[in-house]
């Protein structure tokens, strides 16, 4: 462990730990030529600076992931599943650390949001571990003397994730990819890079081969763009805006790589006069306020039938005032981030 590539952070609870700040490539922490700050959104104060990936570092990460496939694809599905289970245990043992770190970096409340996110990652690792030895091809009879065989091949995958669920949404991408035998280069959001960097050390501890799981911090216009157009990748998985998703589709045409795009949009919620208005108000407030309102599926438009509009509005306002307490993310009661 190089002290230059770790920096001690003391969380508001008093919990202190060493945060990796480098780029995790080939199971090693490396530097780049520049850094950028990550900011605590509840105070707008800098937390720490992390190393920024440019074109050169993206190339190194992709090369590491592609080289890793040579040995990683030989690892039995059973052993891959065991590594995923060990990774789940390692994360579960540090739920408090990871949930507090995400609260610091993203602004989501610890108790009502961040902790459930991290527990969910451990659960999903275990779920995907169970799939590791059940993903295979088929033998398809065509006639009495002929049959066809389908075979699944692992890919080298670039993954780009947003800020609102830093580790949770990353896990939606890396858990199934690892279970399928893929090697990964994952880019965090420049707004919330810390938990994914800390998680990378657990991946190494769990026994994953060098180059199977690479983490880079950086900006979309440089690192994200180069990942999308990189001919060394077989697939890009992206969650973010529709505008950026459109650009990624264009860039991915460099080698016709596969795409998984989860792009944001506006989600309407409809309330009719036959609804249980109390329940409608409860879930309408939850849908737009949960995770401090940072949801791509937030019901940011509520369309209410005119005959019950006034009654619903009063119930909705009461629900928001009583249930969605605004405060510091590290307080016990708040359910929403206090913006200064």
Residues with catalytic roles: 262, 296
Contact 300, 290 (CB under 8 A): no
DSSP state of 131: H
Residue 21 neighbours by CB distance under 10 Å:
21
H/E element, 269: strand 268-271
Residues pairing with 261 in the sheet: 238
d(Cα 190, Cα 201) in Å, to the nearest integer? Answer: 19
CB-count exposure of residue 2 (10 Å: 0-12, 13-18, 19+): exposed
H/E element, 282: helix 277-289
Residue 331, phi-psi category: left (phi > 0), alpha (psi -120 to 50), beta (remainder): beta
d(Cα 93, Cα 335) in Å, to the nearest integer? Answer: 24
Contact 185, 65 (CB under 8 A): yes
CB-count exposure of residue 232 (10 Å: 0-12, 13-18, 19+): middle
d(Cα 181, Cα 201) in Å, to the nearest integer? Answer: 19
d(Cα 166, Cα 200) in Å, to the nearest integer? Answer: 13
d(Cα 237, Cα 243) in Å, to the nearest integer? Answer: 15
d(Cα 212, Cα 197) in Å, to the nearest integer? Answer: 15
């Amino acid at each position: 462990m190089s002290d230059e590539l770790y920096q001690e952070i003391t969380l508001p609870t008093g919990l202190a730990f060493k945060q990796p700040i480098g780029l995790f490539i080939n199971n090693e922490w490396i530097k780049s030529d520049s850094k950028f700050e990550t900011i605590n959104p509840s105070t707008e104060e800098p937390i720490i600076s992390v190393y920024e990936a440019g074109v050169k570092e993206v190339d190194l990460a992709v090369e590491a992931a592609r080289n890793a496939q040579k040995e990683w694809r030989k690892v039995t599905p059973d052993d891959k599943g065991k590594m995923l289970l060990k990774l789940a245990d390692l994360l579960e043992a540090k739920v408090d650390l990871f949930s507090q770190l995400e609260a610091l970096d993203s602004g989501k409340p610890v108790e009502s949001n961040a902790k459930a996110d991290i527990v969910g990652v451990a659960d999903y690792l275990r779920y995907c571990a169970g799939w590791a030895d059940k993903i295979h091809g088929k033998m398809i009879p065509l006639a009495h003397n002929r049959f066809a065989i389908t075979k699944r091949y692992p890919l080298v995958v670039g993954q780009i994730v947003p800020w609102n669920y830093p580790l949770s949404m990353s896990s939606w991408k890396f858990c199934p990819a690892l279970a399928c035998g893929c090697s990964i280069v994952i880019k965090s959001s420049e707004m919330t890079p810390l938990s994914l960097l800390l998680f990378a050390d657990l991946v190494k501890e769990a026994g994953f081969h060098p180059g199977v799981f690479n983490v880079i911090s950086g900006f979309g216009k440089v690192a994200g763009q180069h990942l999308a157009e990189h001919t060394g990748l077989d697939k890009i998985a992206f969650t973010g805006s529709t505008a950026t998703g459109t650009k990624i589709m264009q860039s991915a045409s460099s080698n016709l790589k596969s795409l998984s795009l989860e792009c944001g949009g506006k989600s309407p919620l409809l309330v009719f006069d036959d609804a249980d208005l109390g329940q409608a108000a409860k879930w309408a407030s939850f849908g737009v306020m949960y995770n401090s309102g940072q949801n791509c599926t937030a019901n940011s438009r509520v369309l209410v039938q005119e005959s019950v509009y006034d009654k619903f509005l009063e119930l909705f306002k009461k629900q928001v005032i009583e249930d969605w307490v605004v405060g510091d993310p590290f307080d016990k009661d708040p359910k929403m981030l206090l913006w200064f």
